């Protein structure tokens, strides 16, 4: 068994996949979480071919039964979890103005980006506790930073996407709430902005590579759990909520 284990949701492609690869290179056992088992299996086999310890973990973060089944499997096979990375997320209909975005679309975004990480963190908490010390990473976005979005000088000031932006602001608040509760038992919870990365989310218009984006997540996931908790980071620097 590898010395440490990690569950990564939404990890069959892009930033999640590269995060899995980088952590696997550090010796972590990877539970590669994905909603589509066939796509997930292809990603798992690709990483196994590189010599990594990777297992497929089918998980739909919007469904209680799927999340509970995933947690039960990790419990049965490993009995603990050192790192949980809540990476799964969706953009919603980004072209709609705040006044035009439908409640149904916003609700869909929140189900994955907000309620999903809560659901997953709660389900895996017993496993994180079993590790003694553990890290939880919420993959957020600079578009969730109220400090940045309210600053006319910031590059993202003009990106006004109601559903997605507010879902990431909510995710930051969730990270802080869990951090305050779990600090006393050695579980560190933080949020990270991977930056504007070229992915399917933005039709590959981002200026950062998935390797750069994943590096910040991996840095945070591998921090000493006894260190400061409840922070928001980009490129290893703390940024405003």
Phi, psi of 39, deg, nearest 5? -70, -35
Residue 71 has pLDDT above 80, yes or no: yes
What contacts 60, CB < 8 A, 6 or more positions away? Answer: 35, 66, 67
- Average pLDDT of 16-41? 96
- Average pLDDT of 83-112? 94
Range of 13's domain? 4-238
CB 2 within 8 A of CB 29: yes
Tokens of 236: 């290893």
Q: CA-based diameter of the chain, in Å?
A: 52
- Residue 127 banded pLDDT, cuts 50, 70, 90: very high
Specify the residue for token string 């496993």: 127
Tell me, what's the pLDDT at 200? 67
Could you give the CA distance from residue 234 to residue 213 in angstroms, rounded to a whole number? 9
Name which of 89-98, 123-132, 138-147 the model is least confident about.
89-98
- Residue 199 banded pLDDT, cuts 50, 70, 90: confident
Tell me, what's the pLDDT at 1? 43
- Average pLDDT of 199-206? 66
pTM of structure: 0.96
Q: For residue 208, what is the DSSP state?
A: B
- State the total domains in the chain: 1
Q: Which CATH number fits the domain that encloses residue 128?
A: 3.40.50.720
Using one digit for the tens of pLDDT, what is the confidence trace for 140-197? Answer: 999 999 999 999 999 999 999 999 999 999 999 999 999 999 999 999 999 999 987 7
Q: Are strands 237-238 and 232-234 parallel, antiparallel or unpaired?
A: antiparallel
- Residue 28 banded pLDDT, cuts 50, 70, 90: very high
């Amino acid at each position: 068994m590898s010395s440490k284990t990690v569950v990564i949701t939404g990890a069959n492609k892009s930033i999640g996949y590269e995060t899995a690869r980088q952590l696997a290179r550090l010796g972590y056992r990877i539970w590669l979480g994905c909603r589509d088992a066939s796509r997930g299996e292809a990603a798992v086999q690709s990483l196994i071919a590189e010599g990594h310890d990777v297992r497929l973990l089918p998980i739909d973060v919007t469904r209680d039964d799927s999340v509970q089944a995933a947690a039960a499997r990790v419990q049965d096979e490993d009995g603990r979890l050192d790192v949980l990375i809540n990476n799964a997320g969706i953009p919603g209909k980004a072209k709609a103005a705040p006044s035009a975005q439908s409640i149904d679309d916003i609700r869909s975004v929140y189900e994955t980006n907000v309620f999903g990480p809560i659901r997953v963190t709660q389900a895996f908490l017993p496993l994180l506790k079993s590790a003694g010390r553990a890290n939880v990473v919420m993959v957020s976005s600079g578009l969730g930073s109220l400090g940045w979005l309210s600053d006319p000088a910031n590059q993202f000031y003009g990106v006004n996407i109601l559903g997605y932006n507010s879902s990431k602001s909510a995710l930051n608040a969730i990270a802080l709430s869990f951090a305050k509760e779990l600090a006393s038992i050695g579980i560190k919870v933080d949020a990270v902005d991977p930056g504007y990365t070229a992915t399917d989310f933005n039709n590959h218009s981002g200026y950062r590579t998935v390797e750069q984006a994943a590096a910040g997540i991996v840095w945070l996931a591998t921090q000493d759990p006894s260190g400061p908790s409840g922070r928001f980071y980009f490129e290893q620097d703390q940024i405003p909520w």
